[in-house]
């Protein structure tokens, strides 16, 4: 009888974080969706159209950007102390990732859009990797 009682209390303790999850996860998803929408708008190529057409360069670029920002959000979620904190640092991380895109675009040259649209995978992979690296550094910087 004691084991069943302890098991029930353990389950209740475990589920005590469910309300936070049901609040913080949707906020994180909304921030990720917002980042994706902004990223699609700031790139000079039609990301989703190219991906639907099988363009691996566009897919690699977009995947790296999403993963980079998801790493940022994972760090924010692990360290935020309130929903306001989550939103503030989520937006700061978003701005850093957007800045990283512009820096990478500048470094990769003026014809980057043409190379992505032509499906030059090396350009897409490098852009995606820069986004992922920026996300890793961005995430790590948030816990210092």
Task: Record the pTM.
Answer: 0.86
Please check whether residue 130 is in contact with residue 99, taking contact to mean a CB–CB distance below 8 angstroms.
no
* pLDDT in 10s for each residue of the chain, 144 residues: 556 666 666 777 778 888 888 999 999 999 999 999 999 999 999 999 999 999 999 999 999 999 999 999 999 999 999 999 999 999 999 999 999 999 999 999 989 999 999 999 999 999 999 999 999 999 999 875
Residue 79, Cβ neighbours under 10 Å: how many?
A: 13
Query: What are residue 55's phi and psi, to 5 degrees?
Result: -80, 105
Domain ranges of the chain: 19-141
Residue 88, Cβ neighbours under 10 Å: how many?
A: 13
CB neighbour list of residue 70: distance below 8 Å, 6 or more residues apart:
32, 135
Residue 40 burial by Cβ neighbours in a 10 Å radius (0-12, 13-18, 19+): middle
């Amino acid at each position: 009888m004691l084991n069943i009682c302890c098991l029930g209390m353990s389950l209740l303790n475990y589920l005590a974080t469910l309300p936070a999850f049901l609040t913080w996860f949707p906020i994180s998803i909304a921030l990720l969706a917002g980042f994706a929408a902004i990223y699609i708008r700031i790139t000079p190529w039609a990301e989703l159209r190219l991906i639907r057409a099988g363009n691996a360069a566009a897919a690699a670029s977009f995947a790296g950007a999403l993963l980079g920002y998801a790493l940022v959000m994972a760090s924010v979620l692990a360290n935020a102390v309130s929903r306001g904190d989550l939103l503030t640092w989520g937006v700061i991380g978003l701005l850093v990732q957007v800045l990283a895109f512009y820096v990478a675009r500048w470094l990769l040259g003026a014809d980057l859009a043409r190379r992505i649209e032509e499906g030059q995978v090396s350009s897409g992979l490098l852009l995606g990797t820069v986004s992922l690296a920026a996300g890793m550094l961005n995430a790590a910087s948030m816990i210092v």
